[in-house]
């Protein structure tokens, strides 16, 4: 009788372990953020949960917060999508401008999520994105290593979309749709 219960408990633990492994590999990932490049939206020490499935059914969108492994980096970073494939991105006078081509007057991106509204002009300030490239920036533009320095992000290097942030310091949750 006792052996049967121990076996059932071990089978249950094995099933839970396999389920967690499959979910973590294919559906959801999580990690603790280190650094302030996305503050005030995501702070150092926050837990972020990443949806690894939704971009299989739809393309990433402007202002999505993503986890990505850039071409030139060995670790993953968390950034916000600013430029979409095929667009022209220009940063001038502290503003990010989105254009469809060289002749387009473009539109200034309105970024209510920024604490400091100006975007410093460092690194790449004007770029035409290829059909599978995205331009990403951190919300804390003065302390962010992003597409201005790393270049555009390829679609296949995007690990997923951040859908939940847990902030241990205030025991709060922020959910993104």
**16-58 pLDDT tens trace:** 888 888 777 777 888 899 999 999 999 999 999 999 999 999 9
The answer to whether residue 74 is catalytic is no
CA atoms of 145 and 125, how far apart (whole Å): 14
Identify the pLDDT of residue 73: 78
Q: Which residues contact 157 (CB under 8 A, 6 or more apart)?
A: 68, 69, 70, 71
The answer to whether residue 37 is catalytic is yes
The domain segmentation of the chain, as residue ranges, is 2-168
Could you confirm whether domain 2-168 is CATH 3.50.50.100? no
Q: Catalytic one among 52, 54, 79, 126?
A: 79
| pTM for this predicted structure | 0.85
Q: Catalytic one among 37, 52, 144, 147?
A: 37
**Whether residue 2 has pLDDT greater than 90:** no
């Amino acid at each position: 009788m006792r052996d049967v219960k121990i076996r059932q408990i071990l089978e249950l633990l094995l099933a839970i372990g396999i389920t967690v492994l499959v979910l973590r590999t294919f559906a959801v990932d999580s990690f603790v953020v280190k650094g302030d490049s996305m503050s005030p939206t995501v702070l150092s020490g926050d837990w972020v949960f990443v949806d690894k499935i939704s971009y299989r059914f739809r393309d990433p969108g402007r202002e999505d917060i993503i986890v990505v492994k850039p071409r030139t980096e060995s670790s993953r970073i968390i950034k916000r999508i600013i430029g979409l494939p095929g667009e022209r991105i220009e940063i001038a006078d502290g503003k990010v401008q989105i254009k469809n081509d060289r002749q387009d007057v473009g539109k200034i991106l309105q970024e209510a999520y920024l604490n400091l509204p100006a975007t410093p002009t460092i690194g790449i300030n004007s770029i035409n994105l290829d059909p599978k490239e995205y331009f990403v920036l951190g919300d804390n533009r003065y302390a962010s290593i992003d597409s201005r320095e790393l270049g555009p992000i390829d679609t296949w290097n995007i690990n997923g979309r951040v859908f939940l942030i847990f902030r241990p310091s205030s025991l709060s949750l922020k959910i993104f749709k």
